[in-house]
Amino acid sequence: MSAPDEQICTLISPLDMHIHFREGAMLRTVAPLSARDFAGGVIMPNLVPPVDNLERLLRYRAEIEAAISGMGFTPYMTLFFRAYSEAELRAVRPHIIGVKLYPAGVTTHSEAGVQNIRDAEPTLEIMEDLGIPLLVHGETSGFVLDREREFLPIYAHLARRFPRLTIVMEHITTREAVALLDEYPNLYATITLHHLQITLDDVAGGLLQPHLFCKPIAKRPEDRAALLRAALAPHPKVMFGSDSAPHPVSAKEAAACAAGVFSAPVALPLLVEIFAQHDALDRLQAFISDNAQRIYGVTPPHKKVILQRKPWTVPQRYGDVTPYYAGRTVEWQVVQTML
């Protein structure tokens, strides 16, 4: 007997529009987990040293492709923001989906980021002319709970100053950031899985949970509720971006814990679980793929991913990385993918 319909969810070409793959052995552990469930993803450039020139970018993409060959996954590459000449950007444009801007020092491996946003403007002008999207880690160096809110006027300034530049507010965590989407036509956003599920209470309200510690830090219940409303609608300007960010267990379970939630192996099943709980499975396709395809103008490989309601227990480790939901039950799983 075949399973009744509400036990099956079919998605076409799911995309993860914000992922950290790292390099070397870590890349080879984590990249296939994304490539199994997704048809493509936006690969972050915060390596050491950063991906900030064409040669490094092409070498990095080749390393990714070697780790996931034949899996029907397109790595959409990004360049780490610095002052670039027009010639440099023209040369790299065919190979990238956008340029990722980090304010200096706000997160993992962002030391080479931007000190003063005004200094970025000549390069942003060239990007606007060449039609290269700008992806932004939008946090100041202020009080940790206020960093995103304090950054919102910078988003507003950039959106006004560069009206033809596509600006993606990465991993938004506040209701004010959601509201800003409706103020400027050229502002878009990604939303992670974990920010749809957790608040600061889950991170630090009881025993400290290093595997839930990330930047931007999870905020208040009202913020989570606003993110959930935007994802479930879905707001036409939001896309899924996991911000899956693996660190070895030794860097997480440490006196100085690294920021990052490693959600790649559970991202798609848990999103289906959330949308099913809200009776919104018919709206997941837009959040997980269609909005991103429209916003970025990309066409990923056609990949049909079928999930079934079939509980499983998340492993404690993938290599030496502890995943989000380790040891917990996830209701849905991918049972078939067809290229």
Q: Which residues are catalytic?
A: 243
Nearest-approach distance from CB 21 to ligand DOR, in angstroms: 10
C-alpha 183/C-alpha 107 separation (Å) is: 27
Q: List binders of ligand DOR among 247-266 (CB under 6 A).
A: 259-260
197 binds ligand DOR (CB under 6 A): no
**Site pattern 86..125 for ligand DOR (x: CB under 6 A):** ---------------------xx-----------------
Element (H, E) at 229: helix 221-232
Cβ distance to Zn ion smaller for residue 16 or 243 = 243
C-alpha 31/C-alpha 214 separation (Å) is: 20
Q: List binders of ligand DOR among 215-234 (CB under 6 A).
A: 215
Q: Which of 46, 166, 244, 337 binds ligand DOR (CB under 6 A)?
A: 46
Residues 6+ apart with CB under 8 A from 324: 193, 194, 211, 212, 261, 262, 263, 266, 270, 314
Question: If you count them, how many residues does the chain have?
Answer: 339
Q: List binders of Zn ion among 228-267 (CB under 5 A).
A: 243
Instruction: Residue 259: name its binding partner from Zn ion, ligand DOR, none (Cβ under 5 to 8 Å by kind).
Output: ligand DOR
The DSSP result for 12-68, as a single string, is ES-EEEEE---SHHHHHHHHHHHHHH-SEEEEP---SS---SHHHHHHHHHHHHHHH
Instruction: Residue 41: name its binding partner from Zn ion, ligand DOR, none (Cβ under 5 to 8 Å by kind).
Output: none
Nearest-approach distance from CB 108 to ligand DOR, in angstroms: 4
Q: What is the 3-state secondary structure (H, E, C) of 69-108?
A: CCCCCEEEEEEECCCCCHHHHHHHHHHCCEEEECECCCCC
Instruction: Residue 134: name its binding partner from Zn ion, ligand DOR, none (Cβ under 5 to 8 Å by kind).
Output: none
Question: Interface residues with ligand DOR (CB under 6 A)?
Answer: 20, 46, 107-108, 137, 214-215, 245, 259-260
